[in-house]
């Protein structure tokens, strides 16, 4: 029995123009954009926007249909007309997306992160928003000029420990508004989202500090809202083409209807605040994993091809103990990337089938983060002094790789999630 890594035909057709952009637009500009941090990849943005509009429209229509059926209690959401589980006829929207992200990250991960879309903000709205909110906030990403969405959760004192979020949301009944105060950091595309027309950021804030994670709620802050300010824009080790911003919320007033979900605080397992955040991450961690694998594949393929020109070729027929050390390293690099990719495809397939994927989502994120860090480091090592120099992109891929082991839940945090899920421990029992 063999494992087939061939791209499905339907996805391959969608991927062809993306591959062209990655090869002919992103890769040639990699070094320049890395050297000039925060310079916007204008050509890439405008080339990708029409395709992203189509994807946003398809995602919006699917989300509206799902939300409508859910609010009506329509059991056909679970079973189709033939009474077979709906997962048997699952779409491939998310699968198509991870293939696209992997290819774009092969082109350049920092440039990919500049892609105009609703991004993490859209994922949060999709996870917990009402049909009216889906329409009001996400329709904009299907129309007009390029625009960006973002999500703001991390704070100076609250990275992996989201229960320590200090940003507050206070309701003003006289004006029917929420007032947000606090500071968010490391917000990917935060500057683009707040400074461009019709962009938005989903801000996680607490409505009740005593309730801990149960008091966390997501709020939509739209571009141009008074009191939502861009602070420091980070200078980073890698993914330098993308903006990573500090957001300052100073008596930022937003309409009451910009709260996603219910304002009621429910403690215990039914807490919707933290569960809403986790549903967002269950959907986006496979995307981070796919991006990691794209970077790793770029490093692996370049190293493999350059060494082949020097007469060092991979040999799949010999047992490992008959291979040179370099040949064995190349095979291990490829194997690690394939293992991470299979986990990513499984997590994504479950997402498309509308099935629980928290375990698989965290698994693929952990594996991909570790694999890409090791693979890019090994690429630099095998390429020697040239790999360490800026003459090649290998050192850039190494710098770009590490973020995938950090953001959207560090490797350590996701390992804990995997362990708790498999062993049946609670957060207080295993930490």
pLDDT digits (tens, 9 = 90+) for 26-40: 999 999 999 999 899
Given a cut of 50, whether residue 85 has pLDDT beyond it is: no
pLDDT at 263: 80
Given a cut of 90, whether residue 92 has pLDDT beyond it is: no
Active-site positions read 408
Given a cut of 60, whether residue 90 has pLDDT beyond it is: no
Residue of 278, 162, 147, 123 whose CA lies nearest to 222: 147
Identify the band that residue 275 occupies on the pLDDT scale cut at 50, 70 and 90. low
pLDDT mean across residues, the chain: 90
**Does the global pTM surpass 0.85?**
yes
Return the structure tokens found at 222. Answer: 């739209």
The percent of residues above 90 in pLDDT, for the chain, comes to: 74
Question: Which residue has better confidence, 158 or 60?
Answer: 60
Return the structure tokens found at 182. Answer: 């606090």
Pick the CATH number of 272-423 from 3.40.190.80, 1.25.40.10, 3.20.20.100, 1.20.140.10: 1.20.140.10
Identify the band that residue 6 occupies on the pLDDT scale cut at 50, 70 and 90. confident
Using one digit for the tens of pLDDT, what is the confidence trace for 277-297?
677 788 899 999 999 999 999
Given a cut of 80, whether residue 86 has pLDDT beyond it is: no
Given a cut of 60, whether residue 394 has pLDDT beyond it is: yes
pLDDT at 267: 62
Count Cβ atoms within 10 A of the Cβ of residue 316 and give its class: 0-12 exposed, 13-18 middle, 19 or more buried: exposed
Count Cβ atoms within 10 A of the Cβ of residue 90 and give its class: 0-12 exposed, 13-18 middle, 19 or more buried: middle
pLDDT at 98: 96
Cβ neighbors of 108 (< 8 A, separation 6 or more) are 22, 26, 27, 29, 30, 33, 241
Using one digit for the tens of pLDDT, what is the confidence trace for 9-20?
889 998 999 999
Q: Cα angle at 29 between 26 and 31, to 5 degrees?
A: 120
pLDDT at 2: 62
Given a cut of 70, whether residue 221 has pLDDT beyond it is: yes
Using one digit for the tens of pLDDT, what is the confidence trace for 317-356?
999 899 999 999 999 999 999 999 999 999 999 998 989 9
Kindly provide the b/e burial profile for residues 358-393, where b requires at least 16 CB atoms within 10 angstroms of the residue's own CB: bbbbbbbbbbbbbbbbbbbbbbbebbeeebeeeebb
Using one digit for the tens of pLDDT, what is the confidence trace for 350-371?
998 989 999 999 999 999 999 9
pLDDT at 336: 98
Sequence ranges of the domains in the chain: 272-423
Count Cβ atoms within 10 A of the Cβ of residue 428 and give its class: 0-12 exposed, 13-18 middle, 19 or more buried: exposed
Given a cut of 50, whether residue 88 has pLDDT beyond it is: no
pLDDT at 89: 41
């Amino acid at each position: 029995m063999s494992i087939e890594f061939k791209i499905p035909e339907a996805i391959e057709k969608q991927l062809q123009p993306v591959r062209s952009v990655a090869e002919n637009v992103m890769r040639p500009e990699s070094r320049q954009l890395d050297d000039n941090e925060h310079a916007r990849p204008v050509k890439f943005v405008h080339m990708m926007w029409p395709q992203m509009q189509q994807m946003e429209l398809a995602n919006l229509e699917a989300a509206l249909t799902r939300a409508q059926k859910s609010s009506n209690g329509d059991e056909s959401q679970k079973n189709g007309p033939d009474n077979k589980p709906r997962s048997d006829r699952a779409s491939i929207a998310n699968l198509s997306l991870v293939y696209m992200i992997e290819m774009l990250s092969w082109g350049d991960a920092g440039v990919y992160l500049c892609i105009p879309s609703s991004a993490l903000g859209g994922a949060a709205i999709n996870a917990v928003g009402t049909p009216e909110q889906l329409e009001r906030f996400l329709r904009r990403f299907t129309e007009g000029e390029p625009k960006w969405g973002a999500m703001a959760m991390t704070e100076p004192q609250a990275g992996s420990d989201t229960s320590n979020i200090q940003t507050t949301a206070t309701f003003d009944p006289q004006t029917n508004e929420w007032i947000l105060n606090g500071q968010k950091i490391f917000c990917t595309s935060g500057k683009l989202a707040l400074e461009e027309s019709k962009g938005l950021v989903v801000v996680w804030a607490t409505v009740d500090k005593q309730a801990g994670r149960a008091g966390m709620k997501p709020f939509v802050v739209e571009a141009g809202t008074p009191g939502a300010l861009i602070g420091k824009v980070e200078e980073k080790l890698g993914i330098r083409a993308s903006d990573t911003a500090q957001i300052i919320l100073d008596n930022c007033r937003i309409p009451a209807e910009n709260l996603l979900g219910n304002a009621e605080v429910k403690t215990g397992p039914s807490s919707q605040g933290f569960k809403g955040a986790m549903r967002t991450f269950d959907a986006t961690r496979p995307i981070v994993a796919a991006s990691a694998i794209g970077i790793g594949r770029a490093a692996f393929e370049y190293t493999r091809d350059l060494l082949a020109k020097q007469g060092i070729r991979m040999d799949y027929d010999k047992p490992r103990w008959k291979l040179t050390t370099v040949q064995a390293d190349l095979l291990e690099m490829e194997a690690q990337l394939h293992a991470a990719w299979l986990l990513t495809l499984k997590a994504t397939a479950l997402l498309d089938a509308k099935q629980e994927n928290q375990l698989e989502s965290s698994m693929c994120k952990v594996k991909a983060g570790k694999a890409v860090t090791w693979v890019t480091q090994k690429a630099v090592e095998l390429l020697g002094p040239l790999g360490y120099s800026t003459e090649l992109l290998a050192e850039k891929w190494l710098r770009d790789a590490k973020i995938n082991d950090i953001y959207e839940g560090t490797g350590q945090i996701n390992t804990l999630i995997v362990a708790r899920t498999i062993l049946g421990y609670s957060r207080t029992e295993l930490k």
